[in-house]
Amino acid sequence: MSANRCADLVHIVEKTPVLGSDIAPRRRPRLAARILRPRFRLVLRQLRPASLCYKSGMLGRRVDREPVFRPVAGSVFISFSPCTMEGCRLSNDAPIPATPWPRALLFDLDGTLVDSVPDIADAINTVLVAEGFAALKVDDVRKMIGNGIQKLVERAFDASGKPLAGDELTAMTARMMEVYGKGLTVATTPMPGALSAAAWLHRRGHRLAVVTNKPEAFSREIVEHFGLHEMFTVVVGGDTCATRKPDPEMLFHACRELGVAPEDAILVGDSPADVNAALAGGFPCIAVRGGYTNIAVEELGADCVIDSLDDLAEALARVPAPSPSA
């Protein structure tokens, strides 16, 4: 196989029957090793008694397309290059008989999963400048985010010296929606640790939802843009329910959509609206630093505060599950 051809992709799964029940278990790793280059046999010996098969499910076949990693609990994925071990990726989580608590995690979007303030600031400043006002600083806009687009527009115009209400506020909100809808992901980026945390949770079997005051259609576009839609199977936006955070109804709605009881869920957010919704609904809450809040994150009242989503695994171990009688 030439160096230009795709890597072999193998999928090592504990007690997999793919190699055939007529092959003695002690011989399966040895048989599997023969389909790989000799220099990889040490890796297989270290992983015994795991069995090995190609991702395609066809023993002895090579994969002639780019490998796609789809993590499965209790599995180890390895991509073997024809010439090098560069790019080798391992996931060696122990198999889990059932999803550990919490069964579901409800994530805020802006300031928690993604940093969307550059695109939001650009949109609101476009609206303000068109109305004859000076553009706001990005840091000032950051503090206005968290209670939906209409509240953002109200705060932005109020900071510019022109309070809005009634039809004026409705019209400027519609204009903001139009402008922002054309540039949802121009400069928006994932928050530190967001993508890896989501993949880790999904691999372990946790059910994931986005619960945000941003309109649902906008939220879905952003979630899909970053490839999170297969992990976050539920998206609850600010126009999904009759009320928004800090009212807890959005959290209860997400639990119903996920098929879990509220006591089996936890909220991860960054703002007062997030934490207050969790407190009002009786949900445990983890607050993430670096989001959109004008109150110190330690003062929000969350059960746990973390620096970034890279610390989420440890935080989950520190937040106790509700007692059965709670």
**Distance of alpha carbon 244 from alpha carbon 155, whole angstroms:** 17
Name the token pair of 295.
Answer: 């109150």
Kindly report the CA angle at 226 between 231 and 78, in degrees rounded to 5?
Answer: 65
Lookup result for tokens 């022109």: 162
Domain 104-115+188-318: CATH class, spelled out: alpha beta
* Cis amide prior to 97 (ω within 30 degrees): no
**Distance of alpha carbon 139 from alpha carbon 78, whole angstroms:** 43
**Distance of alpha carbon 241 from alpha carbon 269, whole angstroms:** 19
Residue 98's pLDDT is what? 64
> Which phi and psi angles does 119 have, rounded to 5°?
-75, -35
**Distance of alpha carbon 307 from alpha carbon 262, whole angstroms:** 26
Is residue 10 classed exposed, middle or buried when 0-12, 13-18 and 19+ CB atoms within 10 A define those classes? buried
- For 53-75, write each residue's pLDDT tens digit: 333 333 333 333 333 333 334 43
Domain locations along the chain: 8-80, 104-115+188-318, 117-181
**Distance of alpha carbon 94 from alpha carbon 242, whole angstroms:** 42
**Distance of alpha carbon 55 from alpha carbon 67, whole angstroms:** 9
> Which phi and psi angles does 27 have, rounded to 5°?
-95, -15
Name the token pair of 204.
Answer: 């372990």
- For 303-312, write each residue's pLDDT tens digit: 999 999 999 9
Nearest to 324 by CA among 268, 278, 267, 264: 264
Active-site choice (108, 270, 274, 311): 108
- Quickly list DSSP for 26-91: GGHHHHHHTTS-GGGHHHHHHHTT-EEEETTS-TTPPP-S-------TTEEEEEEPSS--TT----
**Distance of alpha carbon 7 from alpha carbon 163, whole angstroms:** 61
Q: pLDDT of the chain along its 326 residues, tens only?
A: 433 333 333 333 333 333 333 333 343 343 333 333 333 333 333 333 333 333 333 333 333 333 333 333 443 333 333 333 333 333 344 343 467 899 999 999 999 999 999 999 999 999 999 999 999 999 999 999 988 899 999 999 999 999 999 999 999 999 999 999 999 999 999 999 999 999 999 999 999 999 999 999 999 999 999 999 999 999 999 999 999 999 999 999 999 999 999 999 999 999 999 999 999 999 999 999 999 998 999 999 999 999 999 999 999 999 988 776 54
Q: How many residues does the chain have?
A: 326
CA dihedral 293, 297, 303, 304 (to 10 degrees): 120
Concerning whether 264 is annotated as a catalytic residue, the answer is no
**Distance of alpha carbon 123 from alpha carbon 125, whole angstroms:** 5
CATH superfamily of the 117-181 domain: Putative phosphatase; domain 2 (1.10.150.240)
* Cis amide prior to 102 (ω within 30 degrees): yes
